[in-house]
Structure 1
Amino acid sequence: MVIAIGFEGSANKLGIGIVKDGEILANCRRTYITPPGEGFLPRETAEHHQQNIHDVLQEALEQSGISPQEIDVVCYTKGPGMGAPLSVCAIVARTCAKLWNKPILGVNHCIGHIEMGRLITKANNPTVLYVSGGNTQVIAYSRQRYRIFGETIDIAVGNCLDRFARVLKLSNAPSPGYNIEQAAKKGNKYLQLPYCVKGMDVSFSGILSYMEDKIDDLLKDYSPEDLCFSLQETLFAMLIEITERAMAHCGSDEVLIVGGVGCNERLQAMMGVMCEERGARLFATDERFCIDNGVMIAHAGALAHAAGTRMDFTDATITQRYRTDDVLVTWRDD
């Protein structure tokens, strides 16, 4: 039996979660929200995390009913992510590990998403589409690694959506991607956009530049809702194409969507059609678990800890570019 606490703060979500053998005892979160038209910068995001982390930690301990003495391992996001916000959580996690005299474990953010998705949906060995503000990857497990079959070669799909929301001055509450999704539901006039799939990889920066450069002209013929609709349809079609190709290569009959953009109901619906045509099953979670959270870090760390993975305290650092396939998956041998 492993009780783990997880600290997540790789971007604008600050989350602390506590798990006990796959059971979620606490899932507490604060989001740094900027004014419409503005993104979030590392320093201001880190300040938000600094101002809130003690309250969130206290809330998580109270919600779980667990005392620090009962915790077996302190887990934190090692990377990938924004340096300053990652550092805030790493420092607090190291401090807690020292004060409580507990082992510490750095967790790969992407693998946290994957293992959380597998826990919640009960997917066995899925092809994973990981889509968020900072990452876009198609992943499948093989020989104790999560292998990357395809990814973005420039910006992540969530970053593309967020930046287009800024062009339209959409609110950042609760998130720009969510507001694009709601606007897209009212759009029905499709604008042909650049479609950029390169083998197993995708590129989103050209599509964004095209819409940014031509926005004034486009708004003469298309409503903002039409443009949101057109952008979503194009981006998601690209993602489904490379996911299906990875499934065919791996002989997979399961797809798991994880990451913040994975909450998008239109993406889930489009992926569902592809899965139905292939006789495959789709697995997806809601915003409690697909948006960055501390529980996923706690759960992935608990799996690794139970499998014998240990980290020296001097290695409890952060790595902004921490690849999904850098991690030895000690807890799986299938």
Structure 2
Amino acid sequence: MPGRIRKRSPLKKPERPYIALGLEGSANKLGAGIIKHGPDGSTTVMSNVRHTYITPPGEGFLPRDTAQHHRDWALTVINDALSKAQISLHDIDCICFTQGPGMGAPLSSVALVARTLSLLYNKPLVGVNHCVGHIEMGRQITGAQNPVVLYVSGGNTQVIAYSQQRYRIFGETLDIAVGNCLDRFARVIDLSNDPSPGYNIEQEAKRGKRLVPLPYTTKGMDISLSGILTSAEAYVQDKRYRPDGATASGSDDIITPQDLCFSLQETVFAMLVEITERAMAHISSKEVLIVGGVGCNERLQDMMGIMAKERGGSVFATDERFCIDNGIMIAQAGLLSFRMGHRTPLTKSSCTQRFRTDEVHVAWRA
């Protein structure tokens, strides 16, 4: 029986270095990154600068205020990225920007900056799907070849696999995203938003000692998270709840914020591991790539690692430089698209809050 023929990537080594500026601003992180693709096939991160809009404990970030933050910091972040890369905008081959999905006002404010720079410096624009940016940067950093991708962030929760020049969505959340679920619960128990509510929940969960029952809702390849959030919030009103985290001597009936953070993480992550394993079995994959802001969570990585090891596979993940929203991931995906001949005309450079991962033609892959 003949062996399987692996198709070569249509993306050839460049004849000269290509440099791209990537601008990200789909939520409360404003990022500018500069990447270079060399003639030897190398990829160099020249700079990766980010500034985060942080609100007081118990508050989320509103689109209008977030957009104002991005406008206030755009020039500073871009100039810092150029300075660290030791180049000017004249050296850039293309300007890549997040075209969606995300929050409308922040997306539009960063797109406006990208269009302005494009006109001022006569550089082509490349609109990038935020989710594809995460995937391509994850593949580049980790070296994962053809993994099942678990994309988990504040606005998205998807299980993805590549086929025929598309990133196909195998399963996703039916309501709120996992990052949104964690962030909203952090506000309920008044956790700080610095550096992020999800990170602070992770630290609190490490001190949790009791697993309280919460709804476990998988529906085929999809999950639902609104019910588990409501149930976790209900425990805060329970007479057994101690907001100061103190446990009475000899009492096993006390519920602390740490217990709730621990229970929420364990239950939600178990749901994510289940649907990811199902996708791995379906496509006979041995690799899992975790991307998105929640992908930094060490407990999620550990749980996914246990599952993958039992299947004879492995888990690939990045640190906070690349898993949290950043400009370099937009530059990477945008430059791959640019090298395949894609350009975004000014007339089609508007943003959309609902830009599906599987709408993108992944022309640079076989």
Same fold (TM over 0.5): yes
The partner residue of 2:363 within 324, 330, 333 is 330
Letter in structure 2 aligned against 1:213 = A
Which residue pairs with 2:27 in the alignment? 11
Which residue pairs with 1:317 in the alignment? 350
Which residue pairs with 1:308 in the alignment? 341
Cα separation, 1, equivalents of 2:344 and 2:31: 22
Query: Could you tell me whether the CA contact under 8 Å between 2:22 and 2:330 is conserved in 1?
Result: yes
Deviation at 1:133, TM superposition (A): 0.4
Which residue pairs with 2:44 in the alignment? 23
TM-score for the superposition, normalised by structure 2: 0.90
Unaligned runs of at least 5 residues, structure 1: none
Answering whether residue 307 of structure 2 is matched by residue 274 of structure 1, we say: yes
Which residue pairs with 2:265 in the alignment? 232
Cα separation, 2, equivalents of 1:332 and 1:67: 30
The partner residue of 2:63 within 42, 49, 57 is 42
Q: What secondary structure is seen at the aligned counterpart in 1 of 2:237?
A: helix
TM-score for the superposition, normalised by structure 1: 0.99
The partner residue of 1:72 within 93, 100, 115 is 93
Cα separation, 2, equivalents of 1:304 and 1:51: 29
Deviation at 1:308, TM superposition (A): 1.6
Letter in structure 2 aligned against 1:309 = H
The partner residue of 1:126 within 135, 144, 147 is 147
Cα separation, 2, equivalents of 1:222 and 1:59: 46
Answering whether residue 241 of structure 2 is matched by residue 219 of structure 1, we say: yes
Cα separation, 2, equivalents of 1:210 and 1:228: 12
The partner residue of 1:260 within 273, 278, 293 is 293
Cα separation, 1, equivalents of 2:231 and 2:209: 20
Cα separation, 2, equivalents of 1:80 and 1:256: 20
Cα separation, 1, equivalents of 2:226 and 2:363: 36
Q: Could you say which structure has the larger radius of gyration? A: 2
Q: What secondary structure is seen at the aligned counterpart in 2 of 1:88?
A: helix
Answering whether residue 307 of structure 2 is matched by residue 284 of structure 1, we say: no
Q: What secondary structure is seen at the aligned counterpart in 1 of 2:241?
A: helix
Answering whether residue 283 of structure 2 is matched by residue 250 of structure 1, we say: yes
Stretch of structure 1 that moved more, 309-318 or 259-268: 309-318
Which structure 2 residues correspond to residues 39-188 of structure 1 after superposition, within 5 A? 39-188=60-209
Deviation >6 Å, runs of 4+: none
Cα separation, 1, equivalents of 2:349 and 2:181: 32
Q: What secondary structure is seen at the aligned counterpart in 2 of 1:236?
A: helix
Cα separation, 2, equivalents of 1:311 and 1:162: 34
Deviation at 1:7, TM superposition (A): 0.5
Query: Could you tell me whether the CA contact under 8 Å between 1:309 and 1:330 is conserved in 2?
Result: no
Aligned pairs, number: 333
Cα separation, 2, equivalents of 1:100 and 1:312: 15
Query: Could you tell me whether the CA contact under 8 Å between 1:61 and 1:67 is conserved in 2?
Result: yes
Cα separation, 2, equivalents of 1:168 and 1:45: 23
Deviation at 1:213, TM superposition (A): 2.9
Letter in structure 1 aligned against 2:302 = A
Percent of aligned pairs with the same amino acid: 66
Q: What secondary structure is seen at the aligned counterpart in 2 of 1:148?
A: strand
Deviation at 1:214, TM superposition (A): 3.5
Answering whether residue 224 of structure 2 is matched by residue 203 of structure 1, we say: yes
Query: Could you tell me whether the CA contact under 8 Å between 2:232 and 2:264 is conserved in 1?
Result: no
1:269-290 Cα offsets, whole Å, 9 max, x none, are: 0000001000011100000000
Cα separation, 1, equivalents of 2:359 and 2:197: 31
Query: Could you tell me whether the CA contact under 8 Å between 1:79 and 1:319 is conserved in 2?
Result: yes
Letter in structure 1 aligned against 2:71 = Q
Query: Could you tell me whether the CA contact under 8 Å between 2:94 and 2:335 is conserved in 1?
Result: yes
1:255-309 Cα offsets, whole Å, 9 max, x none, are: 0000000000000000000010000111000000000000000000000111121
Q: What secondary structure is seen at the aligned counterpart in 2 of 1:214?
A: helix
Cα separation, 2, equivalents of 1:86 and 1:99: 20
1:31-75 Cα offsets, whole Å, 9 max, x none, are: 000000000010000011111111001101101111111100100
Cα separation, 1, equivalents of 2:234 and 2:261: 16
Letter in structure 2 aligned against 1:4 = A
Cα separation, 1, equivalents of 2:25 and 2:203: 26
Cα separation, 1, equivalents of 2:207 and 2:36: 43
Cα separation, 2, equivalents of 1:255 and 1:308: 30
Query: Could you tell me whether the CA contact under 8 Å between 1:132 and 1:157 is conserved in 2?
Result: yes
Deviation at 1:102, TM superposition (A): 0.7
Query: Could you tell me whether the CA contact under 8 Å between 1:113 and 1:258 is conserved in 2?
Result: yes
Cα separation, 1, equivalents of 2:54 and 2:301: 25
Cα separation, 1, equivalents of 2:29 and 2:345: 27
Unaligned runs of at least 5 residues, structure 2: 1-16, 38-42, 243-253
Q: What secondary structure is seen at the aligned counterpart in 2 of 1:129?
A: strand
